[in-house]
Amino acid sequence: MEIVELLLNNTVITILLFAAIIYSMIASASVKSTFAKYNKIYASSKMPACDVARQILEMNGIYDIQIVRVAGNLTDHYDPRKKIIALSDTVYGSSAVGAIGVAAHECGHAIQYAKSYGPIKARNTLAPVVNICSQAWVWVFMIGCALGSLFMAEVGIVFFSVVVLFQLITLPVEFDASNRAIKTLVDTGILYGEEVKGARKVLKAAAMTYVSALLVSLLQLLRLISSTRSRKR
Ligand SMILES: [Zn+2]
């Protein structure tokens, strides 16, 4: 009970939230610097990331996905509706360890869909609801506070909880895609030795941005709960 009280103490939460925001800033800077570092170290296989992606997909019996080039840096993603793996300018034609790691990670998502990986299905089911909740929660909460309606404020908090839940489910999805990526790169011999370590570092740095975003949201949620609790008293 004491721990619950402590966790719901506004001052403690505010301090932790501040720390989490700093951590998330460090995490996003770390992705950029780690990626920049390993985008200068080339794999001995000399295979460009777009070809690596094609090979990984074919190895997994996936032939209906297009690999396209998109503008920008770290804009790489998998679009399940369009069945497209979009690789950024810095990744697409590069045979650097970082680029290959990122391309393999996006393939990891495509494989998750092909194999009906549980958490990605849960994430997809939740996605339309999350879109509404992430837009609406702040309005519902603020109007609730302005009108003095505790019930409405609490509905806003429930909406925000759905967003936090979505971020939580995103974690296994991202970690699994990276694990699949590293395993395939090792198994195929596209990367080996120190090259694998480099790709792993890039993917780990990227995963940390999801962890830090979740931490920030979780503390924000606690703060909302704590402030409505103090209003109740
Ligand atoms: Zn991902």
Nearest-angstrom CA–CA distance, 213 and 198? 24
Residue 173 has pLDDT above 70, yes or no: yes
Q: Global pTM?
A: 0.89
How many whole angstroms separate alpha carbon 119 and alpha carbon 141? 29
Q: Single out the catalytic residue among 2, 5, 106, 154.
A: 106
Beta bridge partners of 96: 42
Q: What are phi and psi of 77, to 5 degrees?
A: -165, 170
Is 2 annotated in the active site? no
Strand arrangement of the beta sheet that strand 66-70 belongs to: 66-70, 84-88, 77-79
- What spacing in Å lies between the alpha carbon of 145 and ligand 1's midpoint? 37
CA of 140 to the centre of ligand 1 (A): 31
Provide the residue count of the chain: 233
Structural domain count, the chain: 1
Residue in the structure block whose two tokens are 């080339």: 42
Average pLDDT over residues 220-224: 93
Residues of the domain holding 16: 2-232
CB 143 within 8 A of CB 152: yes
- The yes-or-no verdict on residue 177 having pLDDT over 90 is yes
Please report, for residues 13, 19, 40, 182, 186, the alpha-carbon distance to residue 189 in angstroms, rounded to integers and kept in the order given. Answer: 47, 41, 20, 11, 5
Residue 42: strand pairing partners = 96
Q: What is the pLDDT of residues 46-98, one digit of tens each?
A: 999 999 999 999 999 999 999 999 998 889 999 999 999 999 999 999 999 99
Q: Where are the alpha helices (DSSP H) in the chain?
A: 2-7, 10-38, 49-59, 89-92, 97-114, 118-147, 150-188, 194-232
Residues 156-168, mean pLDDT to the nearest whole number:
96
Predicted pLDDT at 7 = 67
CA of 195 to the centre of ligand 1 (A): 20
Tens of pLDDT, residue by residue over 99-139, are: 999 999 999 999 999 999 999 999 989 999 999 999 999 99
Question: How far apart (Å, rounded) are the C-alpha atoms in residues 124 and 80?
Answer: 10
Question: What is the pLDDT at residue 26?
Answer: 97
| Structure confidence at residue 232 (pLDDT) | 66
Distance 157 CA to ligand 1 centre (A): 27
The answer to whether the CB of 68 falls within 8 A of the CB of 87 is yes
Residue 155 Cα to ligand 1 midpoint, Å, equals 31
